[in-house]
Structures are given as C-alpha cells and as structure tokens.
Amino acid sequence: MVSLMSDKPLSGKTAVVFGVANKRSIAWAIAKAWADAGANLIFNYQGERLKDNVEQLAATFGDDVPLYPCDVTSDEELDAFFKKVQEHTDTVDLVLHSVAFAPKEALEGDFLTTTRDAFKTSHDISAYSLVALAQRAAPMMTNGGSIVAMSYYGAAKVVPNYNVMGVAKASLEASTRYLAYDLGPKKIRVNCISAGPVQTLAARGISGFGTMIKHYEEHAPLQRSCSTAELGATGVFLASEGAASITGQVLYVDGGYQIMGM
C-alpha cells in the first residue's frame, strides 16, 4: 500500500524546475516546498544574467544542486539541458513549468493592437515551452510522475492589460489537457495551478497591481489572493500520491476569487 500521508511525501523523487529568477519567484516557492518534502531538484536559469541568483538560491539545498542554462525558445538549449539532466539521473518524477513572457508593449493598451511578433513570442515562451519540456522529460519519467504549470485567470476571462498573455495562458491550459491525454497511459499527470496575483518580478511594474490585490481583498471569498508558500503547498499536493487521479485540471489557488459572478 502506498501511504497517502507522510512527512516527506516526495522523498526519492527527482524534480526539474523551470522558472526561478529570484527569491520572489513562484518557482522558488514551489522548489522549496518540493525540497522540504524530500525531492532532489535540478534547476534551469534563463541566461547568464540570472545564473548567480539561481546559483545562490540552489546552494541553500547544498553545494552540488545542479543548474544549467536553458532559454525555452531554443530547441538546442532544451536538448542540451536534458542531456545534462541525464548525467545526474536516469529518471525524472516531477517537472515545474513556471515561465511566461510577452513583450511589455503588449501588456498595456488594447489587445486589438497585438502584433504578430508579440503573439508569436508570448505563445512560444509561455505555452509551447510546456510541450517542449514534456517532450524531453516524458521519456525520463519511466515511473510516471507529475508535470505542473502556472496559469492565471486571464486565460478564462478578460483581465484588462493581460491581453495576449491571457490568450497564451488559454493555450497553456488547453495544452495541459492534451498532454494529460497523451501522457496518461504512462501515468504522467499534467496540471495547472491558476494563482491569484502575487508580487513577483513578472507582476512588478504592472500599473494598478496594488488595486488588483485590493480587489481580491474586497471580492474573493477568503478576502485575499494567495501567498507563494500556499502555491508551494499546492505544488507538493499535485506532485504527491494525494493527487494520483488528478490530471488535465486547472486548480485555482486564488482565495476563491474565480467562483464569483459579481
């Protein structure tokens, strides 16, 4: 019998974590929670600019936590990253996708003015990259496993200024369902966490972020958005046996905001 409750529900598991930029990153919160639950981690970093940050953070788990560069727009870098992963382990159990980007100009003003280029870039980095990761991780997930991606309510409803990112998140959520169907027979589950607004690099500089947090305090059933620690705990749940029959889902971790009609 596999126990559903344990101090270290992820002990012996190997996790690949994409999307740590700094200590505020949602990926860092989920990485910490996975490590606390007993998982061994392997990190990407987007480019030399972020290497030091990720190196320092990863070092909190020990001297030899692997990290390798990978920009998700490059098939060559993705292949090289997973080749490095294979030098550390034969099997991967968990994958975190916590990556998104759209050109700044596309995240203000009218969605109507979205350029072909901004549409392509945002979908490539924020949605296709999940497919690209799954292609390379799945052959190593020989004991089954769990793939978790981060989404936002702007995928389902119009959130002013989220614009093309909302369309890319809709693609990410649909990709999650199709991947869940393809990978189900291999006992690989694929889910999204749809987080309420949290103050990270990707949220900084958005005009009206404070107003948005206040909006959640006024309208969400729990009268707030979510903390990164709570996202970490949900990440552990989705990675664990407790979620063994959950796949293709979008789990809202947003103080209940998403259930409201007014």
Residues recognised as catalytic? 152, 162
Contact region with ligand IMJ (CB under 6 A), list: 24-32, 62-70, 87-95, 98-106: 98-106
Phi/psi region, residue 82 (left: phi>0; alpha: psi -120 to 50; beta: rest), is alpha
> Mask 188-227, x = binds ligand NAD (CB under 6 A)?
-------x-xx-xxxx------------------------
Q: Which of 53, 89, 161, 227 binds ligand IMJ (CB under 6 A)?
A: 161
- Which lies closer to ligand IMJ via its Cβ, residue 12 or residue 109? 109
Q: Half-sphere exposure of 124 toward its Cβ, with a 13 Å CA cutoff?
A: 12
**Residue 104 binds which entry of ligand NAD, ligand IMJ, none, CB below 5-8 Å type-dependent:** ligand IMJ
Q: How far is CA 100 from CA 42, 162, 168, 211, in A?
A: 19, 12, 9, 22
Q: Is 99 in the site for ligand NAD (CB under 6 A)?
A: yes
DSSP β-ladder status, 40-45 and 250-253: unpaired
**Residue 102 binds which entry of ligand IMJ, ligand NAD, none, CB below 5-8 Å type-dependent:** ligand IMJ
**Residue 81 binds which entry of ligand IMJ, ligand NAD, none, CB below 5-8 Å type-dependent:** none
Residue pair 146/96 in contact by the 8 Å Cβ criterion: no
> Which residues, other chains included, contact 197 with Cβ-Cβ below 8 Å and sequence gap of 6+?
203, 209, 212, 213, 216, 225
What is the rounded distance in angstroms from the CA atom of residue 4 to the CA atom of residue 1?
9
What is the rounded distance in angstroms from the CA atom of residue 191 to the CA atom of residue 175?
10
- Which lies closer to ligand IMJ via its Cβ, residue 100 or residue 133? 100
Q: Minimal distance in Å, beta carbon 216 to ligand IMJ?
A: 10
What is the rounded distance in angstroms from the CA atom of residue 105 to the CA atom of residue 161?
10
What residues make contact with ligand NAD under the rule CB under 6 A? 19-21, 25-27, 46, 50, 71-73, 98-101, 125, 150-152, 195, 197-198, 200-203
What residues make contact with ligand IMJ under the rule CB under 6 A? 100-102, 104, 107, 152, 159, 161-162, 165, 197, 202-203, 206, 212
